Structure 1
Amino acid sequence: MLTAEELKRSFSRQPAHLISDSRKRRAAVAAILHQATEKTDLLFIERAQREGDPWSGDLGFPGGRCETQDLSPRHTAERETLEEIGIDLADFEYLGQLDDISGAHIPIIVSCFVYMTTQRPPSPLLNHEVARTFWVSLDDLCDDRRHGDFPVRFRQTDLLRPAIQLPLSRGPVLWGITYRLVISLLNRLGCAPPTRSSDDLRREP
């Protein structure tokens, strides 16, 4: 696992590919890493069941849509993280930004900002948009046996999509935009997850 300084240099050498499209709404999320002596974990949320929300009940990162009062997409990610799970990212080390992701079926562009801490945050304070949070080790995320094509449901339609079966006692698989962001992050971290074609990844909402 790369150190925080090595990761920051990696982001500096290879800046994120940003997408500009005024026809699409913008959103921003935070990928939060906890690095201990022997392993590194990544924080996920399970979104609450909400009627009309296309991501209702899905797994993802804390974050949300950019609002006019936000100074930047990064500010959106930090504001939304504080609102949704009570974590102030000002106390974390900022590493850099992943490539923007454009939704294939939802007109939205998602920016992802990566943070790291060596101190496990206290129990999060969840708002009404989040059902729970949990940590997953990078070892599990990089395990080839957890990657594959899984059945998912999107807008009342059953689909078969690339996804990761996380080590959870219950809950959906990780797929869609967050899956694409996780693959991008794992590549940055030096992990070699299974390769997916660009056509496969463009199918994700």
Structure 2
Amino acid sequence: MTVDVLKDLIAANLNRATAQRVRSLFAEINPHLVGDALFESRWSDVRKDAAVLVPIIPRREGATVLLTVRSSDMPSHAGQISFPGGRTHPEDATPVDTALRETEEEVGIPRHAVDVVGALGVHQGGLGYSVTPVVGIVDPTVRFALCDREVAEAFEVPLDFVADLSNHVTERRSHKGVDYNMFAAPYGRYHIWGLTAGILRTLAETLQADERPLADRSG
């Protein structure tokens, strides 16, 4: 699959209603806990805008999605798997600006190496964050330069794996004796869960119109 074909494929799917809907991931799979004081207290009353980059890399052996493992020194979500991204700064004019700035800071991918294709709808996560996932095609020749303070590791997941909904599950967790569900997408030794898994699931759901493997979609 050429880069242009991949870009056109992703762009076409981002225009679908499935891709653009706003998702409150926790409420979606835990309707019985909506309004529960124990869980509602974990969310801020003031929404905090943020954006992440969903970096798709057109490798010779097949397209991949880049993810990071957060440093154990981070004040929140330490050691968890995430997309490069973060909270919106005053100088950011758009979610794209936020996603590209954070990506360059965290993994060293310069703005000019990212061809922004579009964005998924807003995903509402924990701690009051309202996250816009920006989707971009990354120059496969770019070298990563990880910010050790924020990122412990970067790794890639095949886009074919992400696009297969059978790889996406919900798992049961417990908080102070109350059971709840979370999205997950285990990949080898990497346990992808929470908001990151929810965004990957949305991406997968947008790629289901054509059941052929992505590598076979040449036109």
Structure with greater helix percent:
2
Residue pair 2:163, 2:208 contacting (<8 A) in 1 also: no
Residue pair 2:49, 2:130 contacting (<8 A) in 1 also: yes
Q: How much has 1:85 moved relative to structure 2?
A: 0.8
Bigger shift: residues 176-185 or 36-45:
36-45
1:30-109 pair list within 5 angstroms = 30-50=53-73, 52-53=75-76, 55-103=77-125, 105-109=126-130
In the TM superposition, what whole-angstrom CA distance separates every residue of 1:67-103 from its partner, at most 9, and x where no partner exists?
A: 1121122101111111111111322221110010112
In 2, Cα distance between equivalents of 1:91 and 1:114: 13
1:3 match: secondary structure: helix
Identity %: 26
In the TM superposition, what whole-angstrom CA distance separates every residue of 1:23-58 from its partner, at most 9, and x where no partner exists?
A: 2011110000012344110000000113641x1111
Match of 1:16 among 3, 20, 25: 20
Partner of 1:199: none
| TM-score of the two chains, using structure 1 as the length reference | 0.75
Residue pair 1:164, 1:175 contacting (<8 A) in 2 also: yes
1:56-205 pair list within 5 angstroms = 56-103=78-125, 105-117=126-138, 119-143=140-164, 146-150=167-171, 161-168=182-189, 171=190, 173-190=191-208
Residue pair 2:108, 2:143 contacting (<8 A) in 1 also: no
Give the number of the structure whose alpha-carbon radius of gyration is greater: 2
1:84 match: secondary structure: helix
| TM-score of the two chains, using structure 2 as the length reference | 0.71
In 1, Cα distance between equivalents of 2:14 and 2:185: 25
Q: How much has 1:184 moved relative to structure 2?
A: 1.1
2:187 match: secondary structure: coil
Would the alpha carbon gap of residues 152 and 34 (structure 1) be closer, same or farther in structure 2, given more than 3 Å must change? farther
> Any unmatched runs of 5+ in structure 2?
24-44, 211-219
In 2, Cα distance between equivalents of 1:75 and 1:51: 23
RMSD: 3.2
Would the alpha carbon gap of residues 118 and 52 (structure 1) be closer, same or farther in structure 2, given more than 3 Å must change? closer
In 1, Cα distance between equivalents of 2:57 and 2:13: 18
Would the alpha carbon gap of residues 188 and 121 (structure 1) be closer, same or farther in structure 2, given more than 3 Å must change? farther
Residue pair 2:57, 2:63 contacting (<8 A) in 1 also: yes
Q: What amino acid is aligned across from residue 53 of structure 2 in structure 1?
A: A
In 1, Cα distance between equivalents of 2:106 and 2:78: 14
Partner of 1:196: none
Equivalent residue pairs, number: 186
